[in-house]
Structure 1
Amino acid sequence: MLPLVIMAIEDEDDKAFMTWLYLQYRRLIYSEVRKITGNTDEVEDLLQSVVEKLIEKLSLLRGMEQNKLVNYIISTAKNTAYNSLRGKDRGILWEEQEALADPAPTPEDQIIAQEDLYRLAHVWGNLDERTQYLLSAKYILKKSGKEIAGDLNVPPDNVRMALVRAKRTAREAMGQRVSFP
């Protein structure tokens, strides 16, 4: 059954696109939200919220390539679920939420991660020093955003975007989509 928010869209082209998008990716959205919340009762409500957020970005979604569209949908689902958890005072620390959301990797996930590491090692020397520092500080040295900001002498708010750019640079150097932890 389609969410009511889709049925409320007035433009028929937009409604058709969102209907297609929902039917195509509802299982993916459901899966991502359930991984984070762990509660099937909340998933349906959050599914509606994800759809609402996607509708707000309808014009952006229409122009995306499929791999970017899938990543955008996954990010929206995860962010919506995390925001829901943050909004509730459950007495669970953020680290515990992440532990609940990240089940043990499957053997296939481990193999893919290993292949990604080999590809990254192959292009590491081609990356600029700042990109190398950001990636190694965050993912190898496990430094916090504040520590990285102090090392780079930049405001802590700028570190997140610097990491996004560094990951993008590494992915482009590797020639394909790679997920960082």
Structure 2
Amino acid sequence: MEEEQFWIQQVLAGDKQAYAYIINKYKNQLYATIFRMTKNPQDAQDLVQEAFIKIYRNLDKYDASGSFSGWLYRVAINHCMDEFRKKRYSLTQIEVDEEKVVNPNHPEIVFLKKEKSRQLERLVSTLPEDERLIILLRYVNEISYEEIGELMDIPLSTVRNKLHRAKKKMRETVKREGGYFYELSNGG
């Protein structure tokens, strides 16, 4: 936290190169979150770049009363939601060339991991936008309930309720359709 404050102060003092530290620290996590929202690598990349520009321009508005990561995610996610509303965002999924990703030493293991990941992504993608976002923030980015509440500007109780509902919907889908997530269907 102190290190982040140092870099923020450097940027605010006019050292534009110091912003590279902030970008490098958060770019992968932010990309993963936005990619899961858009399901499109190019759109996610564009939105992450735009979000970092917006974060840079608004860095002087960060007041250090909350966590910097929470503030950063709030700015980025709000930017994405604004873009979704403006463009009536259409989800365009791009298939990944599986042959480039497969580990030739353990093809069975790689296949099973991919299939499990694909099923989990599909489960999450069936959720309403707000529940999907809460699941991603909590379990992919490991953001606390309190920070999620701040990010989405909703009470803590609403975060818990939406998270509970999202997991319940996912469990019901697994019970109905089967799949790898037996632990989910048993209340896990």
Report the TM-score range of the alignment, normalised by the length of the smaller protein: 0.3 to 0.5
Q: What is the TM-score of this pair, normalised by structure 1? A: 0.44
Q: What is the TM-score of this pair, normalised by structure 2? A: 0.43
